Structure 1
Amino acid sequence: MAAMASVVNILGVIFLSHAVYSAYEHSLLPSASIAPTSSAILPRSLDPNINLPIDITLETLFSAFLLCVGVVLSSPGLKPIQWNVWAGGLERSKEAREVKEVGVGGGNPYAGLEERAGFLDIRGKRKEFSDWIKQDAGSEKS
């Protein structure tokens, strides 16, 4: 896949270079210096001074498309979007669990956030509440 992406990128660069050179050569022709009719859509400052032939325009668009495809094909694999999948993968890998520096632990990178002082433990509070409700319901039946 990487070899194919490199070939597509090289072809895109070759086609783009040829299109740029062709556009430059076309701009030097005496017939290209004749100003085209002004467009009613574009303002005068954005109107082009040179009419490029359709083959140069198509070659430029084709080379840009090839380069986009080549970049997409050569990009690395996507990472999982779900944080629990990513953190679980880190916890399971041996490299992530090893301590490489003093004070820098391995495993889940969010474990420090969950164990910090003053952090509200929602699951613990929910369990306390359900125990309190069960205890209160048990005392009313008696």
Structure 2
Amino acid sequence: MTFAANFLNVIGVVFLSHAVYSAYEHSLLASRSISSPVPSLPLDITLETLFSVLLLCIGVVLSSPDLKPIQWHVWAGRMEKSNEARLVTEVGVGGGNPYAALEERPGFWDVRGAQKAFGGWLRESGEMAN
């Protein structure tokens, strides 16, 4: 699959280079003539440009590596269980769960804990009112 993708990329670059050169030559020829003050590109150059961009897009998509599913909880669990990941070897590398510092900071508000506390307060105040 990579050979076909690389082939499409090379062909796309060749066609795009030819389209750009043709547009440049056309603009030079159109600027020398006085009959057309606003030169427009011929249809063949426009189609060649669009075709080359399409080939390049397909080639880039085919040559990209497979996407991995986004499952942060699985990745963070592996990082916390791995002994190598717990060792901080350099800045920004290793150290376990990268979000642990956010969850353990002093200003972190525990929503579930606050809900339990509020529910307990409501039960207590409801019993006091009766």
Hey, what's the Cα distance between the residues in 1 that align with 2:42 and 2:112? 68
* Alpha-carbon distance in 1 for matches of 2:31, 2:18: 18
**Structure 1 residues 61 and 6 mapped into 2: Cα distance closer, same or farther (>3 Å)?**
same
Count of aligned residue pairs for this structure pair = 124
Give identity over the alignment, percent.
49
CA shift for structure 1 position 70: 2.2
Name the CA shift for 1:128/1:91 in 2 (closer, same or farther; >3 Å). Answer: same
- 2:68 is aligned with 1:69: no
User: Normalization by structure 1: what TM-score?
Assistant: 0.63
Does the 8 Å CA contact 1:19/1:59 hold for their aligned counterparts? yes
Q: CA RMSD for the aligned pairs?
A: 3.4
Q: CA deviation at 1:67?
A: 1.5
Match of 1:92 in 2: 77
Provide the C-alpha distance between the structure 2 equivalents of 1:65 and 1:96, rounded to a whole number of angstroms.
45
Aligned mates of 1:35, 1:11 — CA distance in 2: 36
Give me the TM-score of the superposition, normalised by structure 2.
0.68
The aligned counterpart of 1:44 is none
Which residue is equivalent to 2:103? 114
Q: Distance in 1 between matches of 2:81 and 2:35?
A: 64
Judging changes above 3 Å, is the alpha-carbon distance between structure 1 residues 32 and 124 closer, same or farther for their aligned structure 2 residues? closer
Residue segments in structure 2 that go unaligned for 5+ positions in a row = none
2:5 touches 2:62 (CA, 8 Å); kept in 1?
yes
- Which residue is 1:11 aligned to? 11
Task: Please tell me whether the aligned partners of residues 90 and 96 of structure 1 are also in contact (alpha carbons under 8 angstroms).
Answer: no
Residues 105/127 of structure 1: CA separation in 2 closer, same or farther (3 Å cut): same
| CA distance in 1 between partners of 2:80 and 2:14 (Å) | 42
Partner of 1:105: 95
What is the letter of the counterpart of residue 7 of structure 2? V
Provide the C-alpha distance between the structure 2 equivalents of 1:132 and 1:24, rounded to a whole number of angstroms.
77
